[in-house]
Amino acid sequence: MDKKKMIGDLLHDNGLKKTPIRTEMLELFMNHDFALSASDIVSKMKAGHDRVTVYRALASFEEHGILHKASEDGQGVKYALCGHSCPDETHADRHAHFICDECHQTYCLEEVEVPEVEVSEDFSVNKVNYTLSGVCKECNVFSQS
């Protein structure tokens, strides 16, 4: 399916208006296999959009279950597209994330499920973060050359 059609359908299905900035942002996420920060997005966008508009779009995408927070580092929060198993507002995408020690990119490992963890009734778990680190495929290729 054509990316523009997929983006239009995704926005429509989530009750969001199809705007140039939303379209361009979602296209960026679809063109990268790693998570993006707001800074990454601003630097990669063709048109000069202000950071406030980018942050509003990111918040809206997260609220509607289109994106999820994949990691956080010195550049801020990095976002990734949600899988089909991530329903609106619950972000039940129970998969691991991989952060490369070399390039610092964050990848969603959809095939690696986060294990269920039992905690005492004294605690109320709001978020589970299952992160692996090491060297990604791209950086491994460069280090072996």
**Residue extents of the structural domains in the chain:** 3-144
How buried is 69 (Cβ within 10 angstroms: 0-12 exposed, 13-18 middle, 19+ buried)?
middle
Q: What's the confidence (pLDDT) of residue 143?
A: 67
Q: What's the confidence (pLDDT) of residue 113?
A: 80
Mean pLDDT by groups of 10 residues along the chain of 145 residues: 89 94 95 93 85 93 92 86 61 79 91 86 86 92 68
Task: Catalogue the long-range contacts made by 29-33 (C-beta closer than 8 Å, 24 or more residues apart).
Answer: 29/67, 29/79, 29/80, 29/81, 30/3, 30/6, 30/81, 33/107
Q: What's the confidence (pLDDT) of residue 75?
A: 73
CATH number of 3-144: 1.10.10.10
Phi, psi of 62 (to 5 degrees): -70, -45
